[in-house]
Amino acid sequence: MTITIRDLTKTYKGGVTALEGVNVEIPAGMFGLLGPNGAGKSTMIKILATLLEPTSGEVSIDGLDVSKDRRKIRSRLGYLPQEFGVYPKMKAREFLDFVARLNGMPKNGRDKRVDEMLEKVGLADAARRKVKALSGGMLRRLGIAQALISDPKLLIVDEPTVGLDPEERIRFRGLLQDIGKEIVIILSTHIVGDISSTCENLVILDKGKVLYRGSPPELAAKAEGKTWETVAEEKDLPEIKRHFSVISTAPRGDRLHLRLVGEGSANGLELKPVNPNLEDAYINFMGGLEEEKND
């Protein structure tokens, strides 16, 4: 399964161009779509899920055209939208059975399939719990189960870890990683940690354009020789911020332990070079963009 996006542009009715001349080749495996809010990620995901028509350009999934072969594409894909809303009074198992029925699955194999899915996402014990009584993480996992029920070849997930606590986020990433061994996953997120721990390839999208394509280690390597640790006084922070992007600050006695990225001059600071990670590189790449720190 390969996905090819050529010269994709999407302009909304009000005149906002959410995607402009985007070219991306998505190979097998787990693929990350990273970018700040408003970058155009959801727009791209909705086009891939055949829910939105491109203004121009071509998108093909497994050789099928998103504008012409919607039904065929839909039968091959599972989708977990950002706002995953379900019937709150249904029980988890009941909901999955309902989705399976909507997918035209006969009663015969349905029970087995629903139980398999509950097991796969770790919700077997919560099968009889009402949807409204599930935690955020459990609800997301139920979302994955419904997306996988008809055995898709491609799974598309949009900002799936927003609002999850750290433990659930790690568990959720692990689940995606397992699924990614079997089918193609496209994961859209503004949280760097979602990508670094799971994806083999990624693109960075910003203001509707692709800024970077490659693997997480290749991106991280771009911040080599530009990532530092240092100890400084609180009063020096504004000056340091003028020269570097501050990745993290941690109190150390009456001073601050800082992680910095950038090519700024040290101004008397003792900078200790450190190995960059994906977050360092992403922030450096985005020109010191203030990212939401969710990890």
Residue type present at position 210: V
Stretch that binds ligand ADP, among 9-17, 87-95, 164-172, 266-274 (CB under 6 A): 9-17
Q: Which is nearer to ligand ADP, 210 or 256 (CB)?
A: 210
Is residue 38 a contact residue for ligand ADP (CB under 6 A)?
yes
Asked if residues 233 and 219 have their Cβ atoms less than 8 Å apart, the reply is no
Q: Which is nearer to ligand ADP, 7 or 229 (CB)?
A: 7
Describe the strand order of the beta sheet including 272-273 as a list of residue ranges: 245-252, 255-261, 227-232, 272-273
H or E segment and range at residue 30: strand 30-34
H or E segment and range at residue 90: none
Is residue 83 a contact residue for ligand ADP (CB under 6 A)?
no
CA distance 261 to 247: 7
**Shortest spacing between CB 63 and ligand ADP, in angstroms:** 26
Q: Which is nearer to ligand ADP, 23 or 135 (CB)?
A: 23
CA distance 163 to 197: 18
CA distance 60 to 160: 24
Which of 32, 40, 78, 276 contacts ligand ADP by CB under 6 A?
Answer: 40
Which of 5, 8, 24, 39 contacts ligand ADP by CB under 6 A?
Answer: 39
Stretch that binds ligand ADP, among 22-30, 31-39, 171-179, 257-265 (CB under 6 A): 31-39
Is residue 37 a contact residue for ligand ADP (CB under 6 A)?
yes
Is residue 16 a contact residue for ligand ADP (CB under 6 A)?
yes
Is residue 32 a contact residue for ligand ADP (CB under 6 A)?
no
Is residue 12 a contact residue for ligand ADP (CB under 6 A)?
yes
Phi, psi of 189 (to 5 degrees): -160, 155
What are 203's two structure tokens?
């693109």
Of 94, 123, 86, the closest CA to residue 110 belongs to 94
**Shortest spacing between CB 23 and ligand ADP, in angstroms:** 17
By the criterion CB under 6 A, which residues form the site for ligand ADP? 12, 14, 16, 18, 35, 37-43
